[in-house]
Structure 1
C-alpha cells in the first residue's frame, strides 16, 4: 500500500510541473431552438404560439411547462397546453401582463426562439375521477389534463371561470367536449366571482381536484374543499400569495446604486419593477423562482415572496 501511495504522490508532482492543466468545464446549453410557426388570438389579450422544430421534441405530460427564451434574452415559464402525443410542436398561451408577455404578443411567424425543459411541477396523477377548476389563463395546464381524462374514459368535470367570456381562452376548443361535463362561468353573467363552494358544487366523493388560476379562487377552493368528500386538491397559482401582517423595510440595489423603501403591504418585486421594469419574474404566469436574485454573500432572495432588508445584485 505504501508503494501505491508513493507512486500516486510522484504522479501528482509530475502533473503539477508538466504544464498540463485540466481543460475548463464548458457550460452545457440545454436550450432547444424552435421557430414560431403560428400566432393565434385565443381571447382578449391572450395569444397562443405554435412552436416547431425539424425534429421530434422532448416528450411531456399534462401539467408540464417550458422556459421560453425570447429574442431579447428574457426568459419566462409557460404551461404546455397542446397534445402530449403530438411532438411535432409545442403550444403555449400567454396573457399580456408585462414586458415579456408584450414581446410574446409581438412575435411574428418565422421568429426564432428557444425553450428549456419541459419540466413538471404540477403532475397529473392517475385517479378514478377528476374535478377540474380553471380561472382565466389558468386553463392552460388544465386543458391537457381534461383531454387526458376524457381519453382514459374516467369520470371528470370542468368548471371554467373568468371575468368575461371574451377574456377566457380556448372556449371554442372546449365547446367540442360533452356539454354536460363543462361549465363555463363568467363573472359578468353571474354578477360576482364564484365562491369555492360554488366551484366545487357536485364534486364526487373521492375525486381528485385540480385547480389553477388566481389566488382568491384557489384559496376559496382549498378552504371549501373540507365541506366535500373529495380526496385531494392539486393546485398551481398564477400570482404571489397576499402579504399579511407585513412590516416596511429597505433594500439596496448594489449594481444600480439605488436604495428602495418597501411598504408593509407590497413585495420587493413590485417596488423593484418600478425602477427596473425588465427584472425577470413569472409568478403571475404560474411559476415561482424566476425572480430569484443573488446577494453579495452568495445567497439568493426570491423578491416576489421573501420579505426583509437585503442587498441585491441588481
Structure 2
C-alpha cells in the first residue's frame, strides 16, 4: 500500500483525556484487519466532516497494529478541524485517513534523547517515549502544560514502564517545578538529540535557547502544529508556470498558490494549509520562493528548489513548478 493510499477506519472509541482534549481510537473499518505499521513521530491526514483534511500525530505504541490513537485539542482559533473532531465525529463513524507519514522521525544513532512536549504537542513525543522504552534507549521526557487539568495522558504515563523518566511542569505550579530551559539545555550529554513539539511560542523558546547555547542544528528535531501567518506589504501578485504544460497561472495578492491552482483546475494535495505538515511540498524549477512555512529547515529553504504552496509565495515575478 502506498503512503498516499486512503484507508477506511472506524472510530472505536472517543474519550476526553483532559480539559478540551479528546482522543480518537481508530481501527480498520473491516474488523480484525491490521493497519499499516508506523514509526514514532508519524501522523495521518484525517478527512473530517465538511470537507476538511487535517494532520494528527499518532500517540500510541508503534508496536500496535490494530489501532491508531490521535489526540485533538479544541482550539478556539481553530479553522474548523478541531471543532469538527470535538463536535461532529462520533464513535462508530467511518472516516477516511491517509497511511502514516513521518516528517519527525527519531535519530537512530542518538546516544540520549531529550523529549520536550508542550500541551497537545505531547502526542508525537509520547509515541517516541513508547518506542525508546521498548528498545531500552536512554531518554528523558519533560511535559509542559498550563495546569494538571489540561495534562492529557497522565494516567497512561504513570502506569508506563518509563514513568520515572518523565517530569511534569505546570504553568500554574510553584517555581521549583517549572521548566528551566537554560539549565536543562546547558550541558547536553554526548550524542544527545533534542525533540520538541507544542505551541509555537514554546517551541520558539526551546529552539532559540538551544541554538544560543550552541546545539548543532543536526541534533534539533521539531514539528510545528500551527504556523504564524507571515504577511508583509511586499506581498504582491505573481505568476506560476506549470512545467508539464507551460500553462501560466496568476496568484493574486490575497490568494494562496494552492487556491490559485485549484481555481484553475490544478489540484495539489493539502492537509494543514499552514505550512507545517509538508503534504503540499512542491519542487521549484525556476524562480525564488518567499518561504513562509515552518516545515523546511533553514538550509532547505536557502536551496530554493522546493516550497510549500499552501502558504509561501514568490520573491521573483514567476515560479516554474514541477507540476
Would the TM-score normalized by the shorter structure come out above 0.5? Answer: yes
Check whether the contact 1:238–1:285 (CA below 8 A) recurs between aligned residues. no
Alignment partners' CA distance in 2, 1:288 and 1:44: 29
1:250, CA displacement in angstroms?
Answer: 6.2
TM-score (norm 1): 0.69
Out of 231, 234, 247, the position equivalent to 2:233 is 247
Stretches of structure 1 that go unaligned for 5 or more consecutive residues are 1-27, 253-259, 270-279, 293-299
Q: Name the residue aligned to 2:61.
A: 83
Alignment partners' CA distance in 1, 2:178 and 2:310: 29
**Residues 147-296 of structure 1: matches in 2 within 5 Å?**
147-177=130-160, 178-190=162-174, 194=179, 196-200=181-185, 203-226=188-211, 227=213, 232-241=219-228, 243=230, 246-247=232-233, 249=235, 282=272, 287-289=277-279
TM-score (norm 2): 0.67
1:79, CA displacement in angstroms?
Answer: 0.6
Check whether the contact 1:77–1:285 (CA below 8 A) recurs between aligned residues. no
Alignment partners' CA distance in 2, 1:65 and 1:110: 21
Out of 81, 84, 107, the position equivalent to 1:100 is 81
1:213, CA displacement in angstroms?
Answer: 1.2
Q: Assess, with a 3 A threshold, how the Cα gap between structure 1 residues 250 and 90 changes in structure 2: closer, same or farther.
A: same
**Residues 59-74 of structure 1: matches in 2 within 5 Å?**
59-74=37-52
Q: Secondary structure at the match of 1:40?
A: strand
Check whether the contact 1:196–1:217 (CA below 8 A) recurs between aligned residues. no
Alignment partners' CA distance in 2, 1:286 and 1:249: 20
Q: Name the residue aligned to 1:3.
A: none
Q: Name the residue aligned to 1:119.
A: 101
Stretches of structure 2 that go unaligned for 5 or more consecutive residues are 239-251, 258-269, 283-306, 318-323
Q: Name the residue aligned to 1:22.
A: none
Q: Assess, with a 3 A threshold, how the Cα gap between structure 1 residues 286 and 197 changes in structure 2: closer, same or farther.
A: farther
Runs of 4+ residues deviating >6 angstroms: 228-231, 307-310
CA shift digits 1:79-102 (9 cap, x unpaired) = 111121111111111111221211
Q: Assess, with a 3 A threshold, how the Cα gap between structure 1 residues 34 and 281 changes in structure 2: closer, same or farther.
A: closer
Check whether the contact 1:282–1:291 (CA below 8 A) recurs between aligned residues. no
CA shift digits 1:197-227 (9 cap, x unpaired) = 2553664232111111122222222222242
Alignment partners' CA distance in 2, 1:284 and 1:42: 26
CA shift digits 1:58-97 (9 cap, x unpaired) = 1110011111112433211111111211111111111112
Q: Assess, with a 3 A threshold, how the Cα gap between structure 1 residues 84 and 143 changes in structure 2: closer, same or farther.
A: same
1:143, CA displacement in angstroms?
Answer: 0.6
* Bigger radius of gyration among the two: 1
Q: Name the residue aligned to 2:7.
A: 32
Q: Secondary structure at the match of 1:240?
A: coil
Count of residue correspondences: 258
Alignment partners' CA distance in 2, 1:216 and 1:33: 35
Check whether the contact 1:187–1:193 (CA below 8 A) recurs between aligned residues. yes
1:194, CA displacement in angstroms?
Answer: 4.8
Give the CA RMSD over aligned residues: 3.7
Alignment partners' CA distance in 1, 2:95 and 2:17: 21
1:290, CA displacement in angstroms?
Answer: 6.1
